Amino acid sequence: MSPVPFGARLRAAMDARGPLCVGIDPHASLLADWGLSDDVAGLEAFSRTVVEALADRVAVLKPQSAFFERFGSRGIAVLEETVAAARQAGALVLMDAKRGDIGSTMAAYAATYLDPASPLFSDAVTVSPYLGFGSLAPAVDLARENGCGLFALALTSNPEGQEVQHAVRADGRTVAATVLGHLKAANADAASRGELGSYGAVVGATLGDLSSYDLATGGPLLAPGIGAQGATPADLPRVFGDAVRNVVPSVSRGVLRHGPDVAALRAAALGCADEVRTAVDEVRTPVERQGL
């Protein structure tokens, strides 16, 4: 049997648990705020607590690989345990690795996160398309084969990104619009069936009016920037328009600062998910609100 595509699993998770992704970002400062040491023991305690608190309640957990990699092989071992525990508890795991390369190297990156035989096998991974979207073909193909997803950087919230993403190509389209167009093509089959596609874009929630861009790619839109970066759930309809139905807001510090208390972490995450659901519901039609 073919695996259930990531897009379908994501839609089901968001419907059941609310449209929210919580990052697992063990910054040194956050470890200190939790009263943990900035070492592998602190990393392990932090990650275990987040998984215990949230993996059976939120739709998506997003470990930031860099904060595990900085501890070397022992940090990667903690990341492997975190991914496995989160998936076992029912969360979809989005590995935030932002990988991008060409040829056999890209294929190796894809196998690291999208091959079920890998100890870092995740439901989806973030990727960088800035060696050309075609360079991501090994990841696109393996994601399709194994029912996984991708989130390609498209319109990021960091100011430096504009010099690349807003650059205008010879055909008059911006680089970001080109990336969004490739994702729309990759999601065409799912869209023809009325399903959410598995190939998503990263689009910052802090960017304001994006009406000049076609965000209706047929796939999910990972939206960082809620909370500490200044955006709120109420901003989502203004930023994303009709595409807000496919937005997966990503929150890290806004939830994690409530730790290490498990109950407080859960309350913060569920409260944020409720706010997002309310904001999205305001732009749904009456028929959509009834789930028809």
Give the catalytic positions in this structure. 98
Report d(CA 284, CA 14) in Å as an integer: 15
Classify residue 112 as left (phi > 0), alpha (psi -120 to 50) or beta.
alpha
Distance of CA 180 to the CA centre of its chain: 16
| Residue 123 near residue 9 (C-beta atoms within 8 A) | yes
Instruction: Please state, in angstroms and as integers, the Cα–Cα distance from residue 72 to each residue in 6, 30, 46, 67, following that order.
Output: 30, 19, 17, 10
Q: Mapping DSSP to helix (H, G, I), strand (E, B) and coil, where does residue 244 land?
A: helix
| Residue 225 near residue 254 (C-beta atoms within 8 A) | no
260 cis-preceded (ω within 30 degrees of 0): yes
Instruction: Please state, in angstroms and as integers, the Cα–Cα distance from residue 225 to each residue in 15, 63, 261, following that order.
Output: 22, 16, 23
Q: How many CB atoms lie within 10 A of CB 46?
A: 24
Complete DSSP assignment for 104-162:
HHHHHHHHHHH-TTSTT--SEEEE--TT-GGGGHHHHHHHHHHT-EEEEEEE-SSGGGH
Closest CA to 203 of 221, 186, 219: 221
